[in-house]
């Protein structure tokens, strides 16, 4: 997956262009071939109601069978999720699995909705069953709950087990949770297993991934001893994986993560791992640099931002405070001003009525311009009606003078 792709300076804070790591895999003992992808949605950041169309286009373009998602938001009642939004645009993908993991602490004065976040799977093949594996919480730094969404998908000739992860950014907890995932897979013994998602992997600390690829923690592995205690005891129990990207691109970094235009692409947290014993990777690529999104959706993004600013100005004008914040945290390099994330960092954030961009004067001028426009339209319509009346009267008078009384003449 390409979690943050090409961002131009102009669109850096308007659009988050997101892409895929797309993988072709076939089962070594059958003729079944599947195309899978993984995608960190970054919740509803960067104009979700517009961005979802771009994501749907990418899925159709890549013709994926199964797509794993992380940071998937849903409403309190669970009726609407980001996956159901995508399903409306992708009718061929009838099967979904979604596990809300934790309640989201929304920013101050944020509009209601999208209160839960979790993991999801979108498939055009039947999802036979799902299981949610809770991972132990070991970190003082990372307060987020962590789980794995396991889903068995019927691919016709075979059933494949997809395990969707979003690991902690705490290195120590990564090791412990990877050991727990490995133990679960050894116990359930899925023949065709694909492990994919956001592993939050550090290029200087890939020891948790090394454990997954080997199927055990080697003597050289620098994960803590608590992870080693869960190593398999027999060689036959070893459950190893192949990193799809490294299998076909061993000399390319394949970075997928960028925290805005600066510092740019810096790591590859997004991975697809296929069980090395029964599955073979045939192709692997990064997709979705965002040029088409930039060219096609820039104007819609600008209009969306404009209306959000006007809504904030309206709140200032009428002295209300509800729904004047941003839908989400604007990140370390952004600030929330007038319900819109812009550049500048948190120090430049402000809430109405303190923001000059959405002061009461702005809304007053908007109302004034709207009133003038309405007056102009009404006056234009009156003028048109007046001209029509004059034309009809003049034409009727001319017909009467010429003596035209047939049924085809003007009445």
What is the percent of the chain where pLDDT is above 90? 41
CB 5 within 8 A of CB 131: no
Which one of 269-273, 289-293, 307-311, 350-354 scores highest in mean pLDDT? Answer: 269-273
> What CA–CA distance (Å, rounded) separates 32 from 222?
38
- Render pLDDT for 64-109 as a digit per residue (tens, 0 to 9): 999 999 999 999 888 899 999 999 999 999 999 999 999 988 777 7
Alpha-carbon separation of residue 155 from 30, 90, 240 (angstroms)? 11, 19, 22
Q: Note the pLDDT of residue 20.
A: 43
**Is 328 part of any domain?**
no
Average pLDDT in the chain: 83
Sheet with 66-74: strands ordered across: 95-103, 116-123, 66-74, 33-40, 20-27, 279-287
CATH number at residue 280: 3.60.10.10
pLDDT band at 148 (very low <50, low <70, confident <90, very high): very high
User: Is the per-residue pLDDT at 258 higher than 80?
Assistant: no
Give the mean pLDDT of 58-69: 93
**Is 124 part of any domain?**
yes
**Is 200 part of any domain?**
yes
- Render pLDDT for 386-399 as a digit per residue (tens, 0 to 9): 888 888 777 766 65
CB 178 within 8 A of CB 211: yes
The pair of structure tokens assigned to 19 is: 């892409």
Q: Note the pLDDT of residue 212.
A: 92
User: Is the per-residue pLDDT at 3 higher than 50?
Assistant: no
User: Is the per-residue pLDDT at 260 higher than 90?
Assistant: no
Q: Which residue range(s) make up the domain with 247?
A: 20-292
- Render pLDDT for 116-136 as a digit per residue (tens, 0 to 9): 999 999 999 999 999 999 999
**Is 214 part of any domain?**
yes
User: Is the per-residue pLDDT at 262 higher than 80?
Assistant: no
Q: Note the pLDDT of residue 273.
A: 95
**Is 272 part of any domain?**
yes
User: Is the per-residue pLDDT at 14 higher than 60?
Assistant: no
DSSP H or E stretch at residue 39: strand 33-40
**Is 256 part of any domain?**
yes
**Is 48 part of any domain?**
yes
> What CA–CA distance (Å, rounded) separates 223 from 212?
12
Q: Note the pLDDT of residue 27.
A: 60
Q: Note the pLDDT of residue 404.
A: 55
- Render pLDDT for 312-366 as a digit per residue (tens, 0 to 9): 888 888 888 777 888 777 777 778 888 888 877 777 888 888 888 888 888 888 8
Q: How many domains does the chain have?
A: 1
Q: Note the pLDDT of residue 13.
A: 26
Q: Which one has a higher pLDDT value, 122 or 225?
A: 122
């Amino acid at each position: 997956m390409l979690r943050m792709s090409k961002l131009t300076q102009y669109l850096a804070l308007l659009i988050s262009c997101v892409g895929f790591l797309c993988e072709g895999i076939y089962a070594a003992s059958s003729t079944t071939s599947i195309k899978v992808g993984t995608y960190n949605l970054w919740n509803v950041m960067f104009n979700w109601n517009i961005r979802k169309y771009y994501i749907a286009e990418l899925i159709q373009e890549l013709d994926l069978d199964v797509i794993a998602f992380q940071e998937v938001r849903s409403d309190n009642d669970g009726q609407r999720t980001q996956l159901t939004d995508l399903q409306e645009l992708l009718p061929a993908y009838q099967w979904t699995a979604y596990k809300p993991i934790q309640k989201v602490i929304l920013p101050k004065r944020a509009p209601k909705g999208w209160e839960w976040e979790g993991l999801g799977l979108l498939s055009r093949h039947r999802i036979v069953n799902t299981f949610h594996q809770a991972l132990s919480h070991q970190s003082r730094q990372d307060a987020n709950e962590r789980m794995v969404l396991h889903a068995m998908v019927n691919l016709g000739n075979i059933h494949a087990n997809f395990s969707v992860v979003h690991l902690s950014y705490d290195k120590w907890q990564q090791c412990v949770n990877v050991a727990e995932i490995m133990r679960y897979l050894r116990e359930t013994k899925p023949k065709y297993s694909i492990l994919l998602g956001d592993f939050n992997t550090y290029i200087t600390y890939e020891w948790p991934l090394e454990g997954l690829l080997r199927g055990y923690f080697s003597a050289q592995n620098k994960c803590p001893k608590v992870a080693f205690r869960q190593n398999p005891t027999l060689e036959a129990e070893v459950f190893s994986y192949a990193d799809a990207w490294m299998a076909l691109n061993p000399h390319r970094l394949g970075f997928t993560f960028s925290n805005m235009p600066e510092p740019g692409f810096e790591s590859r947290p997004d991975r697809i791992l296929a069980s090395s014993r029964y599955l073979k990777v045939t192709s692997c690529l990064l997709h979705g640099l965002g040029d088409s999104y930039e060219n096609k959706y820039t104007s819609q993004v600008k209009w969306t931002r404009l209306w959000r600013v006007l809504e904030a100005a309206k709140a200032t004008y009428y002295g209300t405070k509800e729904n004047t914040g941003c839908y989400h945290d604007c990140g370390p390099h952004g600030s929330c001003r007038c319900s819109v994330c812009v550049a500048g960092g948190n120090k430049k954030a402000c809430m109405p009525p303190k923001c000059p961009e959405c002061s009461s004067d702005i809304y007053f001028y908007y109302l004034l311009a709207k009133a003038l426009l309405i007056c102009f339209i009404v006056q234009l319509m009156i003028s048109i009606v007046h001209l029509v009346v004059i034309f009809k009267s003049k034409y009727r008078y001319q017909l009467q003078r010429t003596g035209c009384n047939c049924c085809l003449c003007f009445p």
